[in-house]
Amino acid sequence: MRRAVCPGSFDPITNGHLDIIGRVSKLYDVVHVAVLVNPNKQGMFSVEERIALIEEVTAQFGNLVVESHHGLLVDYCRERGIPAIIRGLRAVSDFDFELQMAQMNNGLTGVETLFVPTSPTYSFLSSTLAKEVASYGGDVSHLLPEAVHRRLVERIAERKAEQ
């Protein structure tokens, strides 16, 4: 079986993420979507919420495994026998950082990193940007899956009500 992993924080998953995951799901038998946990960052959504949202909006692909991981991505790959990491590239500026990570990961365990260019439609999109625009009342509905957009708007309203 050909296996790969699409890692990220996915806080929240965007249409840009879905574009990459969907395209990769056609190339591999099993695609792991690893929600990586950064203990130094507080997310908009809990890890469990992110996993549930990803599972909901990717159900049509049928060959995904969605789970979280604390620690090094190469350990995740080694534990599951995954030989390839998939990284989406939005712009040239992404490449410098991603190349360093790919070389480090390969040096640690031999895992390969494959770069997939994002669709031009989503070349500017990040979860951080979507959250920021939405928090100021901007319309990001075209940038997020419907269920994710609905939940993001609800979460922003909840946080404003707490203030």
- Residues that are catalytic: 17, 41, 90, 127
Whole-number Cα distances in Å, 37 to 47, 92, 161, 163? 7, 26, 27, 26
Contact 14, 143 (CB under 8 A): yes
b/e code 50-70 from CB counts within 10 Å (16+ = b): bbebbeebbeeeeebebebbe
Contact 87, 98 (CB under 8 A): yes
**Start-to-end CA span in the chain (Å):** 50
Pairing of strands 112-117, 84-89: parallel
Q: Taking the CB of residue 43, how many other CB atoms lie within 10 A of it?
A: 17
